[in-house]
Amino acid sequence: MTTSMPKVESMASLSSDLFYDILRRLDGATLASAACTCAALHSISKEERLWENVCASTWPSTKSEDVKSLIAVVGGFKKFYADCFPLIVNKEVPEFNLTDYLKYPEEWDEAEYYGDMEEFESISPSDFVSIVDIRYKDKTVCSKVLWGIPNANGVNGWFYNCPFRIDLLTNDEITLSVSDGIPPITSMERERKDGKLWQDLRNGLQLSWIVVNRRIKQAANLSSWNSLGGQRHWPTDNDFLVRFGSILPAKDILPCQVVECILIMKFRVVHTEVDGNNTTLKLTELSMQLGDMEGAHVNGRNSLLVLKEALSCHRSKNYSEALESCHLYSKVQSELKEEKMRNESRLDRLCILSGIAAFVTVCYYFL
């Protein structure tokens, strides 16, 4: 016995509930593409519940009621996804010119160094919210929300003049084990040779660090999603430091014009197979800092200005573009360091020659 399926005359003849049921199963990129296919899908794709589901699957930290309220205030889930899923791309890294950096900070007066004070006074650390999610092999490891910037109270406090840093970890114990997919470690000596765990961490970890400014109602993801590099067995044999980040504009804020947002995730091996337990890693650091071209950390005052500027800069869904801007920054930074080392070497030789000349002169007159 054969059955015939009813013929669909047009897309318009299908139920909107059926459309909704189909769209709610899509990820954000596919949902956005589907919205461009026809008027019916475009209309249904504006439904905030669809984008709420997309945001919840992409960033589990957005499931809490207080974060949902925050997202509603800044423009809704669709806008939030459009702002935070693409990565920050900044290809306007200035070409290397040592004389531009030698002007800092001696030739910058206080007004130039601190920028527009009226603009700064409109920025408060309490305006910023950090929404952070860590994934390992597509499994959520950690979701945290930080309201404001800790220990930043008081306009004349230490925060504004000291290096900017956000430490996100509290007393919560966040671990990775063999059951999460990490390879077992029989000995640290063997891991040092083959680096299997290190490669697994670099390839498997993903970090999203979204910063929202409640006052100006803007948001951006300051992370690179995937690892940019790091250090293994540092500062001890049991530590693995994985680095994420992005390049942020600092025009008219700092002389270097751009800064690096440095996001650090550090794991420590607390158990190996030799101990009679499954291999276990503990997350010991999750932090954000801003560094300038010379490697110095940006102070709190300028960091707030940079973060505000970053929320409106160019973004792209193409990961390779974000990676390219990071590599360009690293290239210029390396050139700057090399030129400074050459200058210091020249000065050292000049000092040595001057000392020898002075010694010979003294000997000539007294002998």
Q: What is the pLDDT of residue 107?
A: 46
Question: Per-residue confidence at 127, pLDDT binned at 50, 70, 90?
Answer: very high
Instruction: Rank 26-35, 142-151, 163-172 by mean pLDDT and report only the highest.
Output: 142-151
Q: What is the pLDDT of residue 32?
A: 82
Give me the mean pLDDT over the 102-110 stretch.
46
Give me the mean pLDDT over the 319-337 stretch.
83
Q: How many CB atoms lie within 10 A of CB 93?
A: 21
Q: What's this model's pTM, rounded to 2 decimal places?
A: 0.83
Question: Per-residue confidence at 119, pLDDT binned at 50, 70, 90?
Answer: low
- pLDDT per position as a tens digit, 294-313: 888 999 999 999 999 999 88
Give me the mean pLDDT over the 190-214 stretch.
93
- pLDDT per position as a tens digit, 212-254: 999 999 999 999 999 999 998 888 889 999 999 999 998 888 8
Give me the mean pLDDT over the 62-88 stretch.
94
Residue written as token pair 């049991």: 238
Q: What is the pLDDT of residue 1?
A: 47
Looking at residue 276, the DSSP 8-state letter turns out to be: T
Question: Per-residue confidence at 111, pLDDT binned at 50, 70, 90?
Answer: very low
Question: Per-residue confidence at 55, pLDDT binned at 50, 70, 90?
Answer: very high
User: Parallel, antiparallel, or unpaired for β 128-136 and 139-147?
Assistant: antiparallel
Q: What is the pLDDT of residue 94?
A: 66
The mean predicted confidence, pLDDT, of the chain is 83
Give me the mean pLDDT over the 51-60 stretch.
93
The closest of 183, 205, 77 to 132, measured between CA atoms, is 205
Q: What is the pLDDT of residue 350?
A: 85
Residue 113's φ and ψ, nearest 5 degrees, are -70, -45
Instruction: Rank 144-158, 192-206, 315-329 by mean pLDDT and report only the highest.
Output: 192-206
Q: What is the pLDDT of residue 77?
A: 95
Within 8 A by CB and 6+ apart from 285, the residues are 167, 169, 241, 264, 265, 266
Give me the mean pLDDT over the 90-99 stretch.
63
User: Parallel, antiparallel, or unpaired for β 258-271 and 280-291?
Assistant: antiparallel
**By the 8 A CB rule, do 120 and 114 touch?**
yes
Question: Per-residue confidence at 293, pLDDT binned at 50, 70, 90?
Answer: confident
Q: Is 171 helix (H, G, I), strand (E, B) or coil?
A: coil
Question: Per-residue confidence at 8, pLDDT binned at 50, 70, 90?
Answer: very low
Side-chain-side CA neighbours of 231 within 13 Å: the count stands at 7
